[in-house]
Chains A and B, each alone.
Chain A
Amino acid sequence: MSWQTLQADLSNTGYVASDDLAMALFLAVTLGKPLLLEGPAGVGKTQIAKSLAELRDAKLIRLQCYEGLDASHAIYEWNYQRQLLSIRAAAEERKSSAEVEDHIFSEKFLLQRPLLEAIRQDKQAVLLIDEIDRADEEFEAYLLEILSDFQITIPEIGTIEATTRPYVILTANGARDLSDALRRRCLYNYVDYPDRRTEMAILAKRCPALEDRLAEQIVGFVQALRKEELEKKPGIAEMLDWAAALAGLGVNDLADDPEQTQATLVCLLKTERDRAAVPREVQQRLVGKAA
C-alpha cells in the first residue's frame, strides 16, 4: 500500500483527503502511530476516522472528550454493585478474605470503557479520541501510556497489553494547548477548510446528482462566505446540508431566486448575528462572486 492508494481508497468511501492528510494517515497506519488532527470545526476531522473504519472494515470506537472526563469513564471501572453482591454471596460460603479479594478484582468485574475496549479487540479497531483538548490535563496524562505503549495499567490486576493495536486518531480544535508529551507521541496534520477544487470533489462525491453549474455556485458561495466576518464559519457538513436543501427545493441557479436562496442560508449560518451579517445584498454579492 502507498499513500496514493490510501487516498484513492478513501475517495471511494466518499472522503476526499488532501495529499498531506493522506500522507499523515498513511504513515499513522503504517508506523502504528497515533495521528493528531487539528483544525477548525467542520473540516472533516472526525469523518476521516469513520472513513478509515469503513475502509478497513474495522470497528470504530469513539471517545468524546469533555471537561471532567476521567479514567472511569474512558478507560475502565470496577462494577461495584456486582462486587458487592459477590462479597455477600461469598460471606455465606465462608470464603477467606483473600479468596474474595482475588475474585472480586478479576476481569469478570471489570467494566471496559472505550480505551480498554479498543486495545482488546480481536481485529484492529479505529479508536477516535474526539476533541481531546476539551478533556483535562490529568486525562491527557492517562492517555500517554496508551498512546505510546498500547497498554493499560490497572492497579488491582496489573498491566493489560493490547491484543491488537488500534489505529488511533485524535482531534482537537485548539480549546487549550495540548502538552508536548502528547504531541510528541503523535503524527500531526493541520486540517484546514478545503480549497475550491477539493470542495468540488467532495460535493461531487456526496451529491452526484447535482448539476455542475449549481455545484460550482454552491462551492464558490461557501468559499466566499468563509472569508466574511462570521462568528461560526460554515464547514463541509453545512455546505453539504445546504446543497441538499437547494437540490430538494429544485433550485437550479442561485441567482434565479434570491428569496429562496436567502431562506436556505439557515443551513450555513448558525447564529443570529451571522444571519444578520449576511443580508440579501451581501448574499447577492457573494452569489455574483460565485457565478
Chain B
Amino acid sequence: MQVTRFPERANGPAERLAGFMAHLRLNGIPTGLGETETALAALAAVDAGHVGEVRSALRAVCVGDAEQEKRFDDLFDAYWLNHGRSRDGTVVTHSARNMKAKSGSNYRMAPGESDEEGEADMPDEDGEGASAGDGTGRLVASKISNIEKTDLRKLMTPEDMTRAERIAERIARSIRDRRSRRRKAALRGAMPDMRKILRKSVQRGGEPIELFRKARPDRPVNVIAILDVSGSMTVYARVFLAFLKGLVSADQRTDAYLFHTQLVRISDALRDSDTMRAVNRLSIMAKGFGGGTRIGSNLKQFNAQYAAQSVNGRSVVIILSDGYDTDPPEMIDEAVARLKRRGARIVWLNPLKGWKDYAPVARGMAAALPHLDHFAAANTLSDLAALEPWLNEL
C-alpha cells in the first residue's frame, strides 16, 4: 500500500482533513465546515488506517452528485497519496496560490487550442453550405484567425453579455410564469374554491362540509439548451453562453449542455452567480473548445445519457449550432427524431440563418430540419429576443 503523505506543516488529523476539504473545494466539490465535521465523525466510525475504507467513507460524506463522484477518486489520490502536483505549504498558502492563478487571464477560449481529437471544423463540402458563392462564408474563417490574436473579452463587451443574459432570463421567466390568471379546480391546491364550497353547502343547509380547492394550472415547459462550441461557432460562443446562463439561472428546471467533440453538462457551472467566473469555469471544463464538431454523436449521447430523465412532453430543447457536422448526417437525423419521439419541441437556432441567402444545405442541418418545430436565426441579440413570442405561443 502506498504511504500516505500530508502537507508537511499540517498537524493532526483534523487539520489534514480540513486541508482535504479545501482541496475538494478548490476542485469544484463544495465542501464546508459541516462536511468536515461529518467526515471526522465518519472516520471515527471506520478503520481510519485503511485507505480503502477512508476513501469510501469520505466519498459518501463529501460527494454530492454523480459528476463529483467520478472525480472524487482522482482528487483523493492527489491529496492523500500524493499523485498530484507536489505541494509544500499548508492549506492557506495552497489556496492562496490557486486563487491567484484563477484570477489571471490565462483561461482564454481560443480556437484551435483543443487537445481533443476530431477534425477542425470546416464547412463539410466544397461548393455547399453558406460558404458557397457569395463569399459571406469566408467571414467565419477570417474572424476565427482574428480571434487567435484578440482576447475574446474584447470582442464581446461585458455589456453585450449582460444583455444576452437578460434576454435569456426574460425568455425563461416568461415561459415559466406563463400561467393562467384563472385557477382550476383541483383536489389539492393553495386556495379554497369558495364559489364551489358555497354552492355545495346549500345542499347541506349552509354547512360547508366538503372543502373544494383550486390550484394553478400545470406548470408550463422546461427548457433544455444544447450549445455547439466547435470551431465554427467560437465567435458566438461567449454570447450564447451568457444566453444559456440567463436561461439556467432564471429557472431551476432548465438544463444546459455544450458540445464540441464531446458533450458536457454545464448547468451547475452556469448557476454560478458571477458571469465572468462562470464562463471561465466553463472554458476550463470544456477542454477541446473550438475543436471539431460531432453533432450527431453528441445528440446521440445526450439521448442516451440525459434525455431519458429530463426530456418529456413539456420540454423545449433548444439547439444552438450552425449545423456543420463531421458525423454522417443519418446520425443527426436519427438522434433528432428520437428526441422528438420523447414529445419535446425542438428549436434550432442557427447563427448562419441570419445571413443573406442562407440555405440549410449543410448535410447535418438538412437532415435535422424535418424534425424541427422552429428554425430561427441567432446571430444578433434581437434574433434571440424574437424567440420569446414564439415560445410563448407554445
Query: A-side interface residues toward B, CB under 8 Å?
Result: 2-3, 19-20, 23-24, 26-28, 30-31, 33, 35, 38-39, 67-68, 70, 72-73, 80-81, 84, 88, 137, 173-180, 183-184, 187-190, 229, 231-232
Known: A174-B310, A184-B35. A23 touches B56 (CB 8 A): yes
Known: A72-B188, A175-B310. A38 touches B53 (CB 8 A): no
Residues in A whose Cβ lies below 8 Å from that of B38: 31, 33, 187
Residues in B whose Cβ lies below 8 Å from that of A187: 38, 60-61
Contact (Cβ within 8 A) A184 B41: no
Residues in B whose Cβ lies below 8 Å from that of A174: 66, 306, 309-310
Residues in A whose Cβ lies below 8 Å from that of B59: 20, 24, 189
A23 to B208, CA, bound (A): 54
Indicate whether B268 reaches chain A with its CB closer than 8 angstroms: yes
- For the complex, count residues of B whose C-beta is within 8 A of A: 39
Contact (Cβ within 8 A) B42 A20: no
Residue of A nearest to B46 (CB): A3
Min CB gap A182→B, angstroms: 9
A232 to B56, CA, bound (A): 30
Query: B-side interface residues toward A, CB under 8 Å?
Result: 30, 32, 34-35, 38, 41-42, 45-47, 52-53, 56-57, 59-61, 63-66, 69, 188, 207-209, 211, 219, 222, 252-253, 255, 267-268, 304, 306, 308-310
Residue of A nearest to B253 (CB): A176
Contact (Cβ within 8 A) A177 B268: yes
Residues in A whose Cβ lies below 8 Å from that of B207: 84, 88
Contact (Cβ within 8 A) B57 A23: yes
Partner among B53, B188, B304 whose Cβ is within 8 Å of the Cβ of A23: B53
Contact (Cβ within 8 A) B66 A31: no
Contact (Cβ within 8 A) B60 A24: yes
Min CB gap A155→B, angstroms: 15
Min CB gap A7→B, angstroms: 11
Contact (Cβ within 8 A) A188 B60: yes
A20 to B63, CA, bound (A): 12
Contact (Cβ within 8 A) A27 B64: no
Partner among A20, A72, A183 whose Cβ is within 8 Å of the Cβ of B60: A20
Contact (Cβ within 8 A) B211 A175: no
Partner among A27, A39, A173 whose Cβ is within 8 Å of the Cβ of B57: A27
Contact (Cβ within 8 A) B66 A38: yes
| Sampled A-B contacts (18; CB under 8 Å) | A2-B47, A3-B46, A23-B46, A23-B53, A23-B57, A24-B56, A24-B60, A81-B209, A84-B208, A137-B252, A174-B310, A177-B255, A177-B267, A178-B65, A179-B252, A188-B63, A190-B66, A229-B304
Contact (Cβ within 8 A) A84 B42: no
Which residue among A67, A72, A176 has the maximum number of chain B CB atoms within 10 Å of its CB? Answer: A176
Residue of B nearest to A29 (CB): B45
A266 to B268, CA, bound (A): 39
Contact (Cβ within 8 A) A183 B188: no
Residues in A whose Cβ lies below 8 Å from that of B66: 38-39, 174, 190
Contact (Cβ within 8 A) B42 A31: yes
Partner among A2, A33, A84, A176 whose Cβ is within 8 Å of the Cβ of B252: A176
A31 to B46, CA, bound (A): 11
A68 to B217, CA, bound (A): 11
A39 to B308, CA, bound (A): 13
Which residue among A20, A23, A39 has the maximum number of chain B CB atoms within 10 Å of its CB? Answer: A23
A30 to B42, CA, bound (A): 8
Residues in B whose Cβ lies below 8 Å from that of A20: 56, 59-60
Contact (Cβ within 8 A) B60 A189: yes
Given contacts A27-B45, A177-B252, 10 further A-B contacts (CB under 8 A): A2-B47, A27-B57, A31-B41, A38-B66, A137-B252, A174-B66, A176-B253, A184-B32, A188-B60, A229-B304
Known: A20-B56, A184-B64. A175 touches B309 (CB 8 A): yes
Residue of A nearest to B63 (CB): A188
Residues in B whose Cβ lies below 8 Å from that of A88: 207
A33 to B35, CA, bound (A): 12
